Amino acid sequence: MLSIFLLWAGFASADTVRKIRYTDSSGQARIVENIKEVPMEYRSSATVVLVRQEKEEMKAEEPEERPVPKRPTEPTTAPAATKDKTGVAEGTAPKAATEDETGQEGAAERLAKVKNALIVTSRIEMAPLKGKQTIFNGRVKNQLDAPLSNVTITINVIDKQAKERAPIISPISGKSGPGIIKANETVDIKVTTNLPPGSIAGFSYRLNWNAQ
């Protein structure tokens, strides 16, 4: 299962800043400037987030910084975050995708393809609907020459008190049905919530899929 994770704050135009997000042993989500600020035991689960900072400086509150005990230098276990042409940060590739079934490609090439299988071609944004509802719109594309299954999007809404609401999990539907995107297929994302736009300070999302 592969995930990518981005964080956007508010509706207004803003600059985007890359930060690192991790969850400590008490379950508290923390956002820091770079991977070196993440304690070693949490680096393997840390993710890159892109934070849009509004001109009005409305953004999700950053957790209070705490001193991190010094540890011996060790190789970083978290994957290096890179960007594709859409600006989407890459996450961790599925552990199962380590061999090419055809035997014509190396494991590294297969891993790279699976890692970049699903890309965002139209940025996922939120917009108001009638009846005080909010819709999340976007577009994604399967770049593989094989279908993706169990394709879902998980949206975590951050309210005005910088608290995360219960996650919204929705399948992404292609021409073959919910959760399935055919090879090289582009599909629209439309997820609706009853939360009014005015109650939302920002949101994060994660795309998940299985590659065959």
For 39-52, what is each residue's pLDDT tens digit?
A: 988 888 888 877 66
Q: Which domain holds residue 103?
A: 2-211
* Counted domains in the chain: 1
Q: Are 165 and 175 in contact (CB under 8 A)?
A: no
Query: Among 97, 123, 125, 122, which residue's Cα sits nearest to residue 112?
Result: 97
Query: CA 100 → CA 106, 144, 201, distances in Å?
Result: 6, 13, 43
CATH number at residue 77: 2.60.40.3230
User: What is the distance between the alpha carbons of residues 205 and 53, in angstroms, rounded to a whole number?
Assistant: 17
Burial class (CB in 10 A: 0-12, 13-18, 19+), 133: middle
pLDDT tens-digit map of 156-196? 999 988 888 999 999 999 999 999 999 999 999 999 999 99
